[in-house]
């Protein structure tokens, strides 16, 4: 009821004053240049807001007041409009985040397959609960919703890289390694987990050159394919249907070979082909 009540931070970990400190000039110039690149990708600049908030997090580690100000200024929005968006999405942090966000899936399937137990044990191991950060600033622990990897349950995410088929032991070792600076490789992802700020920059649309690292598919993703190969199962061939289709689907007088995969090298194109070899997968 006193004026003092209004000076408390919104969250006990939020040093609101940090938001008021202006960006260093070179940092600000970099942010503006990056934001301009993001804005250029869209027909209307407001669309740049979500990636720009990722960009703010790549510099500040969370969505700061000064970051909100910058987005508002560059996109001709009010601070309230920007804050309204920033507070809607769970990936935008409203207080300083750890260097690594470790999210244990506790949606139904993962929870029952062991996610609940993993969360409880890791929480006790680290001494922090949901949305809390270790005192060394390394790990922010979260319960996360379904991350589209249910065939690898129980799943844990570290800075949004997949750690499949986890147990309490594997996840505890993972957080220990992350805290002590040992490189940690996800099951499916880059060869090591990047920092929260690095991943935020990549999500803002700036490639980090790691796309070729890691596997194409994990073992569960390949179960059906493996079985099909064992059994000699393939999709039906196209031949039977394409002959009848040829005139319907081809406007120009281009010769049809009737062979779907080898046909239709459109004339006069600059195809980078060199990959004419048909390959039996």
Partner 1 sequence: MSTQLTPILTKFWDHPTSWTLETYEANGGYAGLRKALQTDQSDLVQMAKDSGLRGRGGAGFPTGLKWSFLPPPDGGPRYLVVNADEAEPGTCKDIPLLLAAPQFLIEGMIITSFAIGSNHAFIYLRGEVAHVHRRVQRAIAEAYAAGYLGQDILGTGFDLDITLHSGAGAYICGEETALLDSLEGRRGQPRLKPPFPAVAGLYARPTVVNNVESIASIAPIAANGADWFAGMGTEKSQGFGIFSLSGHVTRPGQYEAPLGITLRELLDMAGGIRAGHQLKFWTPGGSSTPIFTDQHLDVPLDFESVAAEGSMLGTRALQIFDETTSVVRAVSRWTDFYAHESCGKCTPCREGTFWLKQIMHRLEAGRGSQDDIDKLVDICDNILGRAFCALGDGATSPITSAVQYFREEFEAGMHTPASELFPPERSVLFAKETQPA
Q: Which of residues 63-122 bind partner 1 (CB under 8 A)?
A: 75, 84-85, 88-92, 103, 106-109, 111-114, 116-117, 120-121
For position 245 contacting partner 1 by CB under 8 A, the verdict is yes
Q: What are phi and psi of 162, to 5 degrees?
A: -80, 125
User: Which of residues 11, 78, 227, 255 is near partner 1 by CB under 8 A?
Assistant: 227
Of the pair 19, 117, the CB lying nearest partner 1 is at 117
Taking CB under 8 A as the criterion, the residue among 23, 100, 152, 163 binding partner 1 is 152
Instruction: For CA atoms 51, 87, 19, 181, give the dihedral sign.
Output: negative
The per-residue b/e assignment along 105-127, b for 16 or more CB within 10 angstroms, e otherwise, is bbbeebbebbbbebbebbbeebe
Q: How far apart are CA 12 and CA 14, in angstroms?
A: 6
For residues 85 and 50, the answer to whether their CB atoms sit within 8 Å is yes
- Tell me the per-residue interface mask from 1 to 40 with partner 1, x by CB under 8 A, - otherwise: ----------------------------------------
Give the nearest distance from C-beta 3 to partner 1 in angstroms. Answer: 31
**Choices 3-11, 24-32, 128-136, 273-281 (CB under 8 A): range interacting with partner 1:** 273-281
Which two tokens mark 265? 């090298």
- Rule CB under 8 A: say whether 147 interacts with partner 1: yes
Q: Which of 23, 51, 156, 178 binds partner 1 (CB under 8 A)?
A: 51
Opening angle at CA 187, ends 181 and 96, nearest 5: 45
Stretches 14-22, 50-58, 130-138, 177-185: which one binds partner 1 (CB under 8 A)?
Answer: 50-58
Does residue 182 sit in helix, strand or coil? coil
Nearest residue to 82 (alpha-carbon basis) of 66, 60, 95 = 66
Q: Which is nearer to partner 1, 138 or 219 (CB)?
A: 219
């Amino acid at each position: 009821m006193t004026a003092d009540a209004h000076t408390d931070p919104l969250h006990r970990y939020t040093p609101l004053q940090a938001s008021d400190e202006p960006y260093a000039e070179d940092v600000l110039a970099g942010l503006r240049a990056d934001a301009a690149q993001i804005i250029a990708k869209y027909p209307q600049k407001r669309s740049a807001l979500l990636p720009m908030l990722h960009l703010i997090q790549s510099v500040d580690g969370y969505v700061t007041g000064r970051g909100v100000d910058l987005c508002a200024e560059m996109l001709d929005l009010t601070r309230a409009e920007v804050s309204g968006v920033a507070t809607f999405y769970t990936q935008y942090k409203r207080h300083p985040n750890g260097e690594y966000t470790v999210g244990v899936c506790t949606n139904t399937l993962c929870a029952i397959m062991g996610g609940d137990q993993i969360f409880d044990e890791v929480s006790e191991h680290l001494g922090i609960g949901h949305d809390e950060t270790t005192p060394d600033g390394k790990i922010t622990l979260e319960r996360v919703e379904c991350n589209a990897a249910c065939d690898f349950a129980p799943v844990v995410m570290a800075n949004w890289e997949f750690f499949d088929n986890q147990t309490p032991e594997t996840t505890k070792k993972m957080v220990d390694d992350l805290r002590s600076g040992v490189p940690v490789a996800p099951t499916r992802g880059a060869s090591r987990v990047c920092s929260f700020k690095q991943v935020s920059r990549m999500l803002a649309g700036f490639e980090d050159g790691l796309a070729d690292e890691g596997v194409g598919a994990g073992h569960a993703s390949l179960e059906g394919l493996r079985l099909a190969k064992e059994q000699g199962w393939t999709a039906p061939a196209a031949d039977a249907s394409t002959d009848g289709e040829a005139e319907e689907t081809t406007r120009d007088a281009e010769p049809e070979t009737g062979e779907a995969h080898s046909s239709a090298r459109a004339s006069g194109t600059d195809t980078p082909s060199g990959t004419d070899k048909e390959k039996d997968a």
